[in-house]
Amino acid sequence: MSLFPASTNDSYRGMKAAAWALTVIAAATIIPALLHIGLPDGGAGVIAGLDLSGDKRTIVSLFAWAGTTQFVWGLMLLAVSLRYRSLVPLALGLLALERALHTWNMWGPKGGHLAGGHHPPEVWVTLGSVPVLLVLLAMSLRRA
């Protein structure tokens, strides 16, 4: 397999488990996105446990905007995992990069200042996802 395939079709030679894992990741991206879009507080308070007393409208808007982007990204991941499988390695590579950057933003200089060091559940999931995604990327690049 190649990270940048010559064509975008369902000709996938990597390990099938990596492609099916991408389907699960797509669902795990779409479902929280719908929560961010649909919940009255975008999940900022009821899920992330953030204090909304400061600037609730801005925080809720940011969660909804992030959910919208997350929803579209999830749909793209689903399309890749089910139909355009030659792009599975690229999608997993981009996911690993995205999660690594999120991890840096959550645990690095910008993230330690959240409400006295409070870390919402997503922070822990993201931290653990980076090595898993790298393993899945390696699996997708290996011929089955």
Digit-coded pLDDT (tens) for 27-48: 999 999 999 999 999 988 888 8
Work out the mean pLDDT of the chain and round it to a whole number.
87
CA dihedral for 132, 137, 138, 142, sign (positive or negative): positive
- Identify whether 5 is part of a domain: no
- Identify whether 9 is part of a domain: no
Per-residue pLDDT at 124: 83
Tally of structural domains, the chain:
1
- Identify whether 3 is part of a domain: no
Per-residue pLDDT at 51: 81
Per-residue pLDDT at 73: 96
Assess whether pLDDT exceeds 80 at residue 117: no
- Identify whether 2 is part of a domain: no
- Is the CB of residue 26 less than 8 Å from the CB of residue 81? yes
Per-residue pLDDT at 48: 81
What range does the domain containing 134 cover? 16-141
- Identify whether 38 is part of a domain: yes
Give 53 or 23, the one with higher predicted confidence: 23
The count of other CB atoms within 10 Å of the CB of residue 59 is 19
Assess whether pLDDT exceeds 70 at residue 142: yes
Q: What is the pTM of this model?
A: 0.83
- Identify whether 100 is part of a domain: yes
Q: What proportion of the chain, given as a percentage, has pLDDT over 90?
A: 52
Q: What is the mean pLDDT of residues 44-67?
A: 87
- Identify whether 7 is part of a domain: no
> For residues 1 and 77, what is the distance between their CA atoms, to the nearest angstrom?
18
Assess whether pLDDT exceeds 70 at residue 80: yes
Assess whether pLDDT exceeds 90 at residue 98: yes
- Identify whether 41 is part of a domain: yes
